[in-house]
Amino acid sequence: MDIRPLLIILSVCGQMQAITVDTDYGGLPLQIDRFLGEPTVFTLRNRVDSSWSWMVNNQDCSVKCDCAIQWPTALFCDHKGLEQFPESLPSRTQYLFLQGNMITGFNSKALANTTNLRWLILDQNQLLSERLDGRSPFNLTQLVNLFMNHNNLTEVPAGLPGGLKQLRLAYNQIEKIGPGAFENLQNLTLLLLQGNRLKTIGETDFKGLSILNLLDLSQNVLDTFPKHLPPSVQQLYLSHNAITGMAEDSLQGFNRLCYLRLRNNQLKNDGLTPGVFNVTSLVELDLSFNQLTEIPFVPTTLQYLYLEVNHIREFNVSSLCRTVGLTSYSHIKILRLDGNKIKYHQLPPDWVYCLRILQNIYI
Ligand SMILES: *[C@@H]1O[C@H](CO)[C@@H](O)[C@H](O)[C@H]1NC(C)=O
Ligand SMILES: *[C@@H]1O[C@H](CO)[C@@H](O)[C@H](O)[C@H]1NC(C)=O
Ligand SMILES: *[C@@H]1O[C@H](CO)[C@@H](O)[C@H](O)[C@H]1NC(C)=O
Ligand SMILES: *[C@@H]1O[C@H](CO)[C@@H](O)[C@H](O)[C@H]1NC(C)=O
Ligand SMILES: *[C@@H]1O[C@H](CO)[C@@H](O)[C@H](O)[C@H]1NC(C)=O
Ligand SMILES: *[C@@H]1O[C@H](CO)[C@@H](O)[C@H](O)[C@H]1NC(C)=O
């Protein structure tokens, strides 16, 4: 029985469509996030009546875990006060939920038989990098999702399995990534590193990530716009850092970039080269909560522009439209300028010809 959910994502910038054909999650009331292709619940607590859902005799279940008849390949060991991996995990396990425990390291023996593992969820534990050292259990060739958010890691774990599609390391204490840390992760599409302590990104830190789509580096301590990011990214999140400027080539070659978020940084106009956001694939640009005094030059294809809470004093139409004509106008639908130093009556008379399909403007 193949119980993988069939997920088709047709992703064209700005027009995301996701169809989930949830063939068999065993009848469990499990909802799949249509965009990320993952369940919105990682626990059975309070979701099913324990009197009918747990396996009792016919199939083995680890002592500390719950096993649901309806989803035999999943093992629910979340929020059980575990300090270690449960012992003798059944080899049928494909989905292992271990979040909300006190696990500090791996036990390669416990995972020896789970060669079919596809998801390993270890959010909210106390994983320590020194306890992963050299004893990485990652002989898991089927593993696609590895979640280790909210742990105590200071480094990116070594020896990650090459088949990973999602790696979540948000809210740890990672200070640097290290050369080639993701080198063999050619299938990775999503990498979360927000809420760490990254100050710089090295030249080869992201080497090998050739199809990465979403990269979240928010809530770190980056003081310059990082170079050497994977040019395949479509969603790049850098909010809540200390970035003061961007070089002319910061976004050069990022031909698929749709969503760029730089909220809550320290961007000033003199730190930005005028054409830096001239990336025609951009759909959304968030520059709110910075120190800009002018509206930066943006491509006319942009649809969402967030500039609230800056120090902008004037509205210059030429930042949004080079020329105004039958076919040349800005595609902005939402423009936020509230919390700046301009008033609605100060808008130049020709702005309506430029912002022709605007749905909302906040001033
Ligand atoms: C792995 O499977 C083998 C054969 O079924 C069994 O003897 C062994 O105890 C299992 N190991 C663990 C750690 O569960
Ligand atoms: C990894 O798995 C392969 C095949 O499943 C096995 O032959 C090999 O011994 C395993 N390696 C380790 C280090 O467990
Ligand atoms: C992990 O970090 C938390 C919060 O900083 C701390 O309370 C806890 O003691 C740490 N755990 C270990 C095993 O160091
Ligand atoms: C990467 O994905 C492709 C296509 O799904 C697959 O054939 C390949 O085995 C994967 N690579 C690894 C290292 O698992
Ligand atoms: C913006 O990019 C377009 C397309 O790449 C190019 O034709 C145009 O000259 C650029 N404009 C500026 C001001 O850099
Ligand atoms: C608007 O910006 C353009 C290009 O930066 C500049 O040449 C022009 O003088 C500005 N207009 C106003 C009214 O400030």
Contact (Cβ atoms closer than 8 angstroms) between residue 270 and residue 252: no
Tokens encoding 59: 């199939």
Cα separation, 153 vs 136, in Å, equals 14
Contacts of 146 (CB under 8 A, 6+ apart): 119, 120, 122, 160, 161, 164, 166, 167, 168
Average pLDDT over residues 40-68: 62
pLDDT for residue 48: 56
Closest CA to 287 of 259, 266, 263: 263
**What is the residue whose two structure tokens read 């088709």?**
8
Q: Mutation test of ligand 4: which of 6, 116, 138, 187 has the most ligand atoms closer than 8 Å to its C-beta?
A: 187
pLDDT computed for residue 323 by the predictor: 82
**pLDDT of 15 strictly over 60:** no
- What pTM, to 2 d.p., does this model score? 0.88
Interval 302-316 mean pLDDT: 96
Give the residue with greater pLDDT, 193 vs 110: 193
The whole-number pLDDT of residue 26 equals: 38
Ligand 2, pocket-test mutation among 108, 139, 141, most atoms within 8 A of CB? 139
Cβ–Cβ < 8 Å for 178, 203: no
CB atoms within 10 A of CB 197: 13
Six token digits for residue 321: 């439209």
Whether ligand 4 lies within 6 angstroms of the CB of 162 is answered as yes
Measured from the Cα of 297, ligand 6's closest atom is 5
Check if 346 has its Cβ closer than 6 Å to any atom of ligand 6: no
Confidence at 87, pLDDT banded by 50, 70, 90: confident
Atom of ligand 6 nearest to the CA of 314: 14
Indicate where the chain has its CATH 3.80.10.10 domain(s).
Answer: 243-363
Q: Picking from 5-19, 135-149, 327-341, which range would have the lowest pLDDT averaged per residue? A: 5-19
CATH of range 1-130; options 3.30.56, 2.60.120, 2.20.180, 3.80.10: 3.80.10
Among the residue ranges 204-218, 289-303, 323-337, the one predicted with the least confidence is 323-337
pLDDT in tens, 188-247: 999 999 999 999 999 999 999 999 999 999 999 999 999 999 999 999 999 999 999 999
Instruction: Say what percent of the chain tops pLDDT 70.
Output: 81
DSSP letters for 146-205 = EE--SSB-SSPPSS--TT-SEEE--SS------TTTTTT-TT--EEE--SS------TTT
Query: What is the pLDDT, as a whole number, of residue 1?
Result: 31
- 314 close to 289: Cβ distance less than 8 angstroms: no
| CATH code, 243-363 | 3.80.10.10
Measure the CA dihedral 341/345/348/353, to 10°.
120
* Ligand 1 atom nearest to CA at 89: 14
Tokens 């120190």 correspond to what residue?
Answer: 291
Evaluate if residue 340 carries a pLDDT over 60. yes
Task: Using pLDDT thresholds of 50, 70 and 90, give the confidence band for residue 51.
Answer: low
What atom in ligand 3 is closest to the CA of residue 102? 13
- Provide long-range contacts, Cβ within 8 A and 24+ apart, for 7-12: 7/32, 7/37, 9/35, 9/37, 11/234
Whether the CB-CB separation of 75 and 93 falls below 8 Å is answered with yes
Which residue's alpha carbon is nearest to atom 8 within ligand 2? 139
The ligand whose atoms approach the alpha carbon of 294 most closely is: 6
